[in-house]
Amino acid sequence: DLPPRVRIHEVGARDGLQNEKAVVPTEVKAEFIHRLAASGLTSIEATSFVHPKWVPQLADAEDLFPRLDDIEGVALPVLVPNERGLDRALALGARRIAVFGSATETFAARNLNRTVDESLAMFEPVVARAKADKVHVRGYLSMCFGDPWEGPVPVHQVVRVAKALMDLGCDELSLGDTIGVATPGHVQDLLSELNEEGVRTDAIGVHFHDTYGQALSNTLAALQHGVTTVDASAGGLGGCPYAKSATGNLATEDLVWMLEGLGIETGVDLDALTATSVWLAEQLGRPSPSRTVRALSVR
């Protein structure tokens, strides 16, 4: 059985733009997020409060976030790796944050300069303080299927860190296929194992990158398992500067096309969203990699 409605968690402004070679002007980012909201998306990751030297593309977070104050009825979560990031986010009134852990040691070292357990220790006070303040916390888990340095990642290794993130008090968990190597059977195996270990499906979102063209198949497998939160990026932007071979996320337009075909509600106006991705592609100077954006924009 498929769910009647899916909540799309839009990551283009964060996962997408963090990976652009050129730094996108703050006013373009602000307009992008306003247009995403106008197209009906209700959960839009806005930026990251990380070290500006680690991700210079998002170093304007303090300038950008207040420009979104007039957006109503839309959740605008931000990435926060540590207490310094939390302080910065709370100072601007952020009400939703995401910490981001790794299932593998190599990526934890490269992305967070920590071991897996040291990163969990770094998140612990962040989640505790956020929860005390009634701030919603998402826990990302990267490299849930494969890692560019370590190869395939065993399910039990992923489950251990997933449970640790939930035990810290995260409200939801997003399973990241950072480099896009997952296939549908693997997705269902991981979801089943998480359920067996006590992580409920309704707390789980899926975050697929489309490197091998598997993101939609993997999404369908997750929906069949009962997942109703799906991360996607307008126009298929995305990647991770600290994960070699990571390409764009599942394109939101490709996702909406499939969900509409299945009769699943998203609340998103596909034409408005496509127009936004075409506009952003012009700003970035290259076409969107999304098949749906291309098909709809040549009509």
Among 50-58, 162-170, 258-266, 277-285, the segment contacting ligand HMG (CB under 6 A): 50-58
Angle between helical axes of 184-196 and 215-225 (0-180°, round to 10): 30
Using alpha carbons, select from 112, 105, 87 the residue that is nearest to residue 97.
87
Residues 6+ apart with CB under 8 A from 298: none
Q: Is 293 in the site for ligand HMG (CB under 6 A)?
A: no
Binding partner at 131 among Mg ion, ligand HMG, none, C-beta below 5 to 8 Å by kind = none
Q: Are 45 and 80 in contact (CB under 8 A)?
A: no
Question: What is the distance of C-alpha 177 from the center of its chain?
Answer: 10
Q: Exactly one of 34, 51, 136, 163 binds ligand HMG (CB under 6 A); which one?
A: 51
What's the chain's length in residues? 299
Residue from 58, 175, 240, 243 carrying the catalytic annotation: 240
Q: Choose the binding region for Mg ion from 11-19, 35-43, 131-139, 162-170 (rule: CB under 5 A).
A: 11-19
Which is nearer to Mg ion, 45 or 60 (by Cβ)? 45
Judged by CB under 5 A, does residue 254 bind Mg ion? no
Binding piece for ligand HMG, criterion CB under 6 A, among 80-88, 181-189, 221-229, 271-279: 80-88
**Number of helices and strands in the chain (H, E):** 11, 10
Closest listed residue to residue 160, CA positions, set 189, 219, 211, 120: 120
Nearer Cβ to Mg ion, position 142 or 228? 142
Query: Is residue 214 within 8 Å of residue 180, measured between CB atoms?
Result: yes
Applying CB under 6 A, does 99 fall inside the site for ligand HMG?
no
Q: Does the protein bind ligand HMG through residue 248 (CB under 6 A)?
A: no
Exactly one of 29, 96, 138, 207 binds ligand HMG (CB under 6 A); that residue is 207
Tokens 């304007």 sit at which residue? 60
Q: Which is nearer to ligand HMG, 35 or 207 (CB)?
A: 207
Q: Considering the rule CB under 6 A, would residue 115 count as an interface residue with ligand HMG? A: no
Among Mg ion, ligand HMG, none, the one that 160 touches (CB under a kind-dependent 5 to 8 A) is none
What one-character DSSP code corresponds to residue 25? P
| Contact with Mg ion (CB under 5 A) among 8, 10, 12, 15 | 15
Residue with tokens 């999404």: 219
Residue 15 or 254 having the CB closest to Mg ion:
15
DSSP 190-259: HHHHHHHTT--GGGEEEEEB-TTS-HHHHHHHHHHHT--EEEEBGGG----TTSTT--PBPBHHHHHHHH
DSSP category for residue 65? G
112 makes contact with ligand HMG (CB under 6 A):
yes
Q: Is 170 a catalytic residue?
A: no
Task: Give CA 16 to chain center in angstroms.
Answer: 9
Figure out which of the listed residues 9, 17, 24, 49 binds ligand HMG, where binding follows CB under 6 A: 49
Among 20-28, 83-91, 151-159, 270-278, the segment contacting ligand HMG (CB under 6 A): 83-91
Would you count residue 229 as binding ligand HMG (CB under 6 A)? no
Total binding residues toward ligand HMG, as defined by CB under 6 A: 26
Residue 19 or 296 with smaller CB distance to Mg ion: 19
Q: Which residue reads 């996108």 in tokens?
A: 24
Shortest distance (Å) from residue 103 CB to Mg ion: 13
Which residues, other chains included, contact 72 with Cβ-Cβ below 8 Å and sequence gap of 6+?
none
Catalytic residues: 240
